[in-house]
Chain A
Amino acid sequence: MFDAEFGSRSRSLMMRGVVVLALLAIGVKLGDMQLVNEVIYGKKSEDITTRIFVQQPLRGEIFDRNGNVMVENGPAYEVSIIPNEFKNDQIGPLANLLQMDSVDIAKRIRIGKTISPYLPVRLKRDISFAALSAIEEHLKDFSGVYFDIQPKRVYVGKARAAHILGFTKEISERQLETLGDYYQPGDIVGYNGLEASYETILRGQKGYKYLAVNAQGQVMGSYDDGRLDVPSQDGDDLYLSVDEGLQAMAESLMVGRRGAVVALDPNNGQVLAMTSAPDFDPSVFSGYTSRAEWNKLVNNPDHPLFNRATMAALPPGSTFKMVLATAALEGNVIDTNWTIHCTGSMLYGGRIFHCDKAHGTVNIIKAIEVSCNVFFYNLMLKVGFQAWTKYGRIYGFGEKTGIDLEDESPGIMPSEHYFNQIFGKDHWTNGYLLSLAIGQGEVSATPLQMAAYTMAIANFGKYYQPHLVRYIRNQRTGKIYYTQYSERTLPISREVLGKVREGMYYVVNGDRGTGVAARIPGVVVAGKTGTAQNPHGKDHAWFVAFAPFDNPKIAIAVLVENAGYGGAVAAPIARQLIQYYLNERKSAPETEPSNGIVADAAVH
């Protein structure tokens, strides 16, 4: 087709021309750099070469709802060495001084050397004052050993709030791979709690300083008058909805127990207090964490690092009866005239289902008050699996509440489909259903979900996304960014919720109520007790409550593991917290900034 021109003389000349042009272009540019401008580059190279030094920003601070500081930054001393100036026979004495493993030191030096023998290698963060003064004293005996001051987290609040705040930690190799390009080895990163979920907001932005370094690797000053430098930007502050006093009280009430407390403001879903027991001291992680301390926490059989408030999904027991009550009333299956005669037990499918005593003739309100199982067994058979599942889902069970923490369990809100899956079709009976009616068996919820459910009942059907952060404040500009959260109106009529609330009123205030331990003089409290059967040991105690009855300001869920009867253990804890929050708290004026703008602080 185009053979005529194949390999022609003119084309061969053009090929040679391209070769000459390409190499000439390189040659000219090289001549310009190496001959004409050699002095400029030479000066940059001979005396000064550039090296980037990272400027770490200060992490944002965290405040409670009254503006009290919960986490701030303090100084930590760290020791580093410059491999080129360091002699390896010093490893032994230095390891002694720093109480480190000499193998560990040697390894850090070896890794550092592959990056550059002239750059400092961090040996140990947050050394003790004793070690620091010992090093200062012996500094002349060591060459190439330096110390530096770096910020560390300091927990200054009255409450620990360990599971809310979480802690920071030196970034792991795995996180370096998954978290993206921003991080470098040795960086501090939010490991869990708010420190992790608001990491990008709290951490700020690193700055870069270009320093001139001479041929010996010594820093000579800033490079190019600092024109390339990028200043670091400190992280933004978080302002929480948590009331420090209530939080501290919740923590003290849970000392020595296992369980969780969650208190919400039913008017907006703000978390007033959230504690998981046993907890831990987050300051253990703020500086250097020894392997022994870490192992002690991780291997503790009570799992103090585990946030029970959002992660522990347990059968909710009788506190779940309001779900069935709602399904029955909203679906017009029964009304308040429908009654059951409770003889203390019920025979169904060849099995005896128990009540704690014979309650006699009860309607739905009385059944909630006295927590009559037999009533709810019969009601479940009338209402059916499907409607019960539907209203459980409406109350938010079986899915995460969306709280602004990373670790949250959705719990289990079973359906017929789910039962067919786990047991096999036709391999489960309506007997299983009877257990579900009273919140036992294959149903589970977290304390946070229970608090949110109580909130929705208390406020006549508004489900606010529970959240800890009210707003974010830019440290530099002082600008306020309100975080936005979802809310939904539950498709449950005010009338139905009124009857459910009436039942909960009598639980605390009725003659035969199971939650009388939550009564507070002068404040009308409504609630519901629950006892979750535990195949591994003593039953778990639940109590959910809200108050004041006519204008709820707090909704609360208390879980105490292996504590037995809910009304006896969990209800008094709720009572003391409500009492404190409504009556004893020094109602400091809430810091509600006026110059705020609403912003979607996409954190997750």
Chain B
Amino acid sequence: MFDFFKESFDYKTFFLALTLACIGVLAVNSATYNSGMHEFFVRDIVWQGAGVIIALTIMFLSNRFLQNSAYFFYALTILLLVFVLVAGKRVASHTSWLGFLGIGGQPSELAKVASILCLSKFLSENGNERPQWQVIMISAGIVGLPMILTMLQPDLGTTIVYLAIFFPILFWAGLPPIVVVALVAPIAIVIAEFTGTAVLLITVVAFGVLFFILSRKKLFAITLSFVAVSFGLFMEYFYKKLLQPHQQKRIQIFLNPSLDPQGAGYNALQARVAIGSGGLFGKGYLRGAQTQLNFVPARWTDFIFTVIGEEFGFLGAAVTLLVFGALFFRGVKIAEMVKTKFASLAAIGITSVLLFHVFINIGMNINLAPIVGIPLPFISYGGSSALSDWMMVGILLNFYAHRKEH
């Protein structure tokens, strides 16, 4: 047993995640301290503890277990997603909470993990036998199915998380750069269109240039550029002509909440004031005027970072970011050291999903990203997300333990 921990236990990953969970428990305590919702503090400790147990359990699974059961696990979560759509309890107008034995749970959190494993298994076992376009289509199907089911709930935040599964894993699998750029292009053009015509123009030109740099065949590059320009023109037409002014406004507010100071912008404004007022050292634990006076809404879930920013200041926020950074580097490192392609791809998928959560969640706290409501891993209060975060840690621990086996 001692030998196992010396040789096979990735204490770095484990303690980085545990540190984040502790920061989270402290923050949830502060966020709920004055609100009459203080029971969430106790529940958060319980969830994080359960998460640790699950992570350690997954660590002890045998070498090929995760790879062998990936398709089954995926099929199971898809069934759960469908079941939720049909029979889910409505929570805050989303249908994603599944009442099971009295415990609320979001299968969409599980489906993220299952999709990472499933896509990794497919690419590592069948990725070499088929033509490239088939591999891309099937990969898109694997990720697209849970994505569509999540979108129907409707849960926009979790939906876009699947993009952070799809692109990085395919990239890691060795997809040619030109294909990666060509796949990213339509998404970038849509976002650019909503930002403004000038940005759209620059984006389309930039992609054209990239196509010419990355492709040796000029005709192929010209074709791709032509498609990008047509798509850009179509989006311009779609956005300016087909959408009603109020629909345009809704998209604008989504991308820039300060346009709507009574609605989404109110949360964003309060969050910014809270974080900005934290300064270098912060106002001290449990002493943040904004968070303690309940000015920041949803501050123990989506806006938990305001507590850290206000009460621990720039230093506290920076430490938190560094711990996250170390965890992500560790994830890439594990992807490099493992012997199986499956484990390597899955490790990258886990790392990028966690990174995406961190970037979008903190980004919406500081006006860098639209407000889409996805949690900050290990830190936001929430049972399902705590469990799925720790499942991913457990998978990394499992890969590390078997890193020398084929």
Contact = CB atoms under 8 A, between A and B. Distances in A.
A51 B266 CA distance: 9
A30 B175 CA distance: 35
- For A3, A15, A31, A230, the residue with the greatest tally of chain B CB atoms inside 10 Å of its CB is A15
Given A3-B128, A42-B277, A45-B274, A12 B174 contact: no
B293 A12 contact: no
A52 B295 CA distance: 10
A2 interface: yes
A19 B321 contact: no
A40 interface: yes
B276 A34 contact: yes
Contacts, number: 156
A101 interface: no
A217 interface: yes
Contacts of B174: 2-8, 11
B394 to A, nearest CB: 21
Contacts of B344: 6-7
Contacts of A26: 321, 359, 362-363, 366, 368
Interface stretch (B66-74, B329-337, B383-391): B329-337
A8 B280 CA distance: 40
B348 interface: yes
B290 A34 contact: no
Contacts of B363: 26
A322 B12 CA distance: 93
B211 to A, nearest CB: 18
B276 A45 contact: yes
A38 interface: yes
B16 interface: no
Contact of A1 (B128, B261, B328, B348): B128
A50 interface: yes
Given A22-B355, A27-B321, A34 B313 contact: yes
A539 B277 CA distance: 78
A49 B272 CA distance: 11
Interface stretch (B78-86, B165-173, B226-234, B235-243): B165-173
A515 B132 CA distance: 92
Interface in A1-45: 1-8, 11-12, 14-16, 18-20, 22-23, 25-27, 29-31, 33-35, 37-38, 40-42, 44-45
B253 to A, nearest CB: 14
A140 to B, nearest CB: 27
A85 interface: no
A46 interface: yes
A33 B368 CA distance: 12
Contact of A49 (B173, B278, B289): B289
Contacts of B130: 1
A409 B341 CA distance: 71
Contact of B329 (A6, A19, A115, A230): A19
A113 B37 CA distance: 11
A82 to B, nearest CB: 13
B329 A215 contact: no
B325 A19 contact: yes
A593 B358 CA distance: 62
Nearest to A7: B344
A22 B171 contact: no
A7 B309 contact: no
Nearest to A13: B332
A2 B175 contact: yes
A7 B171 contact: no
A208 B262 contact: yes
Contacts of A41: 272-273, 275-277
B332 A33 contact: no
- For A3, A18, A40, A217, the residue with the greatest tally of chain B CB atoms inside 10 Å of its CB is A18
A33 B366 contact: yes
A15 B366 contact: no
Contacts of B176: 2, 5
A116 interface: yes
Nearest to A214: B289
A34 B172 contact: no
A11 B171 contact: yes
A52 B261 CA distance: 10
A1 B133 CA distance: 10
B318 interface: yes
- For A6, A27, A52, the residue with the greatest tally of chain B CB atoms inside 10 Å of its CB is A6
Contacts of A20: 325
A46 B295 CA distance: 12
Contacts of A4: 174
A49 B290 contact: yes
Contacts of B341: 6-7
Contact of A38 (B132, B171, B280, B293): B280
Contacts of A29: 366-368
A18 B184 CA distance: 15
Interface in B347-395: 348, 351-352, 355, 358-359, 362-363, 366-368
B18 interface: no
B274 A31 contact: no
Interface residues of B, number: 63
A88 interface: no
Interface in A187-211: 208, 210
A332 interface: no
Interface string A507-528: 0000000000000000000000
A228 interface: yes
B318 A114 contact: no
A142 interface: no
A113 B290 contact: no
B48 interface: no
Interface string A102-138: 0000000000011111100000000000000000000
A25 B270 CA distance: 21
A11 to B, nearest CB: 6
Contacts of A31: 314
A12 B331 CA distance: 11
A125 to B, nearest CB: 25
B36 interface: yes
B36 A23 contact: no
B280 A215 contact: no
A35 B359 CA distance: 20
Contact of B318 (A6, A27, A38, A44): A27
Interface string B173-185: 1111000000000
Contacts of B317: 30, 34
B135 interface: yes
B273 A45 contact: yes
A15 B354 CA distance: 13
Nearest to B335: A7
Contacts of B275: 30, 33-34, 41
A113 B38 CA distance: 13
Interface string B271-295: 0111111111000000001100111
Interface string B286-319: 0001100111000000000000011001100110
B54 interface: no
B53 interface: no
Contacts of A30: 275, 309, 314, 317-318, 366
B207 interface: no
B278 A34 contact: yes
A25 B314 CA distance: 14
Given A11-B171, A15-B168, A35-B314, 20 more contacts: A1-B127, A2-B127, A2-B175, A6-B344, A15-B352, A16-B329, A27-B321, A29-B366, A30-B314, A30-B366, A34-B280, A34-B313, A35-B280, A40-B276, A42-B279, A45-B273, A46-B289, A52-B262, A114-B36, A118-B293
20 contacts: A1-B127, A1-B128, A15-B332, A15-B348, A19-B329, A26-B321, A30-B314, A34-B275, A34-B276, A34-B280, A35-B280, A38-B277, A41-B272, A41-B273, A41-B275, A45-B289, A49-B293, A49-B295, A114-B37, A208-B262
Going nearest first, the 8 A-B pairs with the smallest beta carbon separation are A41-B276, A45-B277, A5-B174, A2-B174, A6-B174, A33-B276, A34-B314, A38-B279
